[in-house]
Structure 1
Amino acid sequence: MEARIVSYRRGRHTMKGNQLLIEIEGVDSKTAASKFIGKRVLWVSPGTKKKEIHGKITSTHGNNGALRVRFSKGLPGTVLGNKIEILD
């Protein structure tokens, strides 16, 4: 299953580099999104090296089905808008 990276988790003055907000197509409510909490995700870098960074869905974000994901390392800013794979 795939999801789209929307934004970093951030506040007014700070940005969390290893926490991102994602949206899954077809999921548009908090209750539907809560079924994905605890699942693992994988981001594979484009290019020839294919670097993999793993993460975990930690909680929902808002009432419209967005999810928070915490990664082991920070992701570059070029990932915004890209696809991410949900493993479990």
Structure 2
Amino acid sequence: MHTFWYFRKEAKDIFDNSTTTHEFISIAQEIHSRCLQKLVTASMSRIRSDTNIHRGRHLSYQRGKRNTNPGTSLIKIEGVDDTKAANFYLGKKVAFVYRAQREVRGSKIRVIWGKVTRPHGNSGVVRAQFRRNLPPKSFGASVRVMLYPSSI
């Protein structure tokens, strides 16, 4: 939308200063291509370079009516809305990245790794088991779902 406004503004300036219609058309086409190029480069800069990562949310532990099972976490992956799509992620690595207070080996950033074990229900939620159980503080927190190991 903003690109079109920019194009109109530049075209108006050229129209006021151009002598022939042919000259106006050729200059307007050049401006239009420049505007499209700006739009494409702006949208490309917003695309993540690491496309082998999908985002997800830690919903809860697997649970029944009364008992929770902290060994298995429920993960909702963005854009996954059914069991068929969730089956693609079986076996994929999941990383819960968090920041700790104390520095260890030169970094305060820590990771708990896990993997997707099976779908949970019909709405695209998956179950994942982590090397160490995720803390309850992570409910609602973001996790990274890696697209490896790949079976394609």
Q: What TM-score do the two structures reach when normalised by structure 1?
A: 0.91
Higher strand fraction (1 or 2): 1
Query: Which is greater in Rg?
Result: 2
Q: 1:29: how far off?
A: 0.7
Alignment of 1:84 onto 2:137: no
Letter paired with 1:12: K
Q: 1:36: how far off?
A: 0.3
Residues 36-80 of structure 1 deviation map (CA, whole Å, 9 limit, x = unaligned) = 000011111234432211101000000110000001111111100
Aligned residues: 88
**Number of the residue aligned with 1:3:** 56
Q: Residues 5-20 of structure 1: matches in 2 within 5 Å?
A: 5-20=58-73
Q: Residues 1-88 of structure 1: matches in 2 within 5 Å?
A: 1-48=54-101, 49-87=108-146, 88=148
Structure 1 spans left out of the alignment, 5+ residues: none
Higher relative contact order (CA 8 A, sep 6+): 1
Question: What do you get for the CA RMSD once the two structures are aligned?
Answer: 1.2
Q: What TM-score do the two structures reach when normalised by structure 2?
A: 0.54
Runs of 4 or more off by more than 6 Å in structure 1?
A: none
Structure 2 spans left out of the alignment, 5+ residues: 1-53, 102-107
- Between the two proteins, what is the percent identity of the paired residues? 36
